[in-house]
Structure 1
């Protein structure tokens, strides 16, 4: 199981697009949850933080295999996935940010998936 935390830096001046992106995901939550099944993603959560006038979006992801999940989403013909990446490209500086992989992962999920 892969567990990762992304810290994504929002491009200055694109904060309203980031807010729109998060609102889009919330408004389409049921559809988004269905795409997670195809990607073998078990849990995905988004957080927002502003530090010294810089906005960050955090993404916590738990999936069976990160590479499979990412490739499935990137190659999806699903309109929601396409719009999701369109928003991301419009407001996130993909050259900045951090991806943290868990050092230790404890769960009570065995046999539940």
Structure 2
């Protein structure tokens, strides 16, 4: 079964530049970042940024993931280790992440076949 998620996380005040550094790091190491996805059974992972009128910056994490993948916390990849460092420094754990409710998902049949084959 495929899990599709969209979650909103708040960035700690004063950590906005560090959070941007984090996204820049992932983009600058794109090939190595994508290489970590297979073990996680992560098919799509996208991050959106919002500067909210409340003065906070929010990251919206969208993902399409299969079952039984490895947890990022268990990875030995330098990408994942750095990813967790940034996460711990930037994500405001006092704010309860907002999990958006999925109402509809359309996946092209050829993409669905690839996901099913991998499962």
Picking from 46, 54, 61, the partner of 2:63 is 61
Give the Å deviation of 1:99: 2.0
The question of whether the paired residues in 2 share the 8 Å contact of 1:9 and 1:56 is answered with yes
Give the Å deviation of 1:55: 0.3
Q: How many residues align?
A: 110
The question of whether the paired residues in 2 share the 8 Å contact of 1:3 and 1:101 is answered with no
Q: Between Structure 1 and Structure 2, whose CA radius of gyration is higher?
A: 2
How far, CA to CA, are the matches of 1:21 and 1:51 in structure 2? 19
1:39 correspondence with 2:40: yes
Q: CA RMSD in A?
A: 1.4
How far, CA to CA, are the matches of 1:78 and 1:103 in structure 2? 34
Q: Greater share of strand residues, 1 or 2?
A: 1
State TM-score, norm by structure 1. Answer: 0.89
How far, CA to CA, are the matches of 2:4 and 2:86 in structure 1? 23
How far, CA to CA, are the matches of 2:63 and 2:19 in structure 1? 18
Partner of 1:48: 49
The question of whether the paired residues in 2 share the 8 Å contact of 1:36 and 1:42 is answered with yes
The Cα offsets for residues 11-39 of structure 1, whole Å up to 9 and x where unpaired, read as: 11111110110100100111010000111
How far, CA to CA, are the matches of 1:74 and 1:101 in structure 2? 25
Partner of 1:112: 114
Stretches of structure 1 lacking an aligned partner (at least 5 in a row): none
Stretches of structure 2 lacking an aligned partner (at least 5 in a row): none
